[in-house]
């Protein structure tokens, strides 16, 4: 049993890095809010991400979706890839009130060269539209596995 598990783990982590800048990834994000993170590439530099998360500060369940543009040329790393990304998206919150707002995610996404895993950190200024106009800021760090 242990031998089969070791072989399976070795097989998973010996997959190509190409899976990180194409296809579909799923994982978690920790911060404000915290939850499940999904990302899908639509071209070599553009992706759509989404999350289902919970805000400890607002006691809300949030859904968000963003369109992201990645620049792979800003930060050079010796191993893997580290693109900076910028995006535009929307969020919808459910709690005592319904919250609707716009998001502008800014982040870094490290793509490992030897495993179908990435880690990311982002800060997300936003504009709340409903129930009343206002500014907010979200942020977090996350990890995704690429299929």
Sequence spans of domains, the chain: 2-146
Architecture in CATH of 2-146: Beta Barrel (2.40)
Tell me the pLDDT tens digit for each residue of 82-111: 999 999 999 999 998 999 999 999 999 999
Tell me the pLDDT tens digit for each residue of 15-61: 433 445 668 999 999 999 999 999 999 999 999 999 999 998 888 99
Say if residue 3's pLDDT is above 70: no
Q: Label residue 3 exposed, middle or buried (CB < 10 Å: 0-12, 13-18, 19+).
A: exposed
Q: What gap in Å lies between CA 133 and CA 5, rounded to an integer?
A: 52
* Closest among 49, 48, 118 to 81, alpha carbons compared: 118
pLDDT of residue 4: 42
């Amino acid at each position: 049993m242990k031998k089969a598990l070791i072989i399976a783990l070795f097989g998973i982590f010996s997959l190509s890095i190409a899976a990180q800048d194409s296809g579909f990834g799923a994982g978690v994000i920790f911060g404000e809010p915290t939850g499940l993170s999904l990302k899908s590439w639509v071209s070599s530099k553009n992706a759509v991400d989404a999350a289902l998360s919970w805000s400890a500060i607002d006691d809300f369940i949030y859904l968000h979706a963003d369109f992201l543009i990645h620049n792979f040329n800003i930060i050079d790393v010796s191993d893997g890839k580290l693109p900076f990304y910028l995006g535009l998206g929307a969020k919808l919150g459910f709690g005592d009130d319904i919250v609707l707002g716009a998001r502008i995610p800014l982040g870094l996404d490290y793509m490992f060269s030897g495993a179908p895993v990435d880690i990311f950190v982002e800060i997300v200024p936003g504009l709340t539209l409903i129930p009343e106009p206002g500014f907010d800021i979200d942020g977090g760090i996350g990890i995704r596995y690429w299929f």
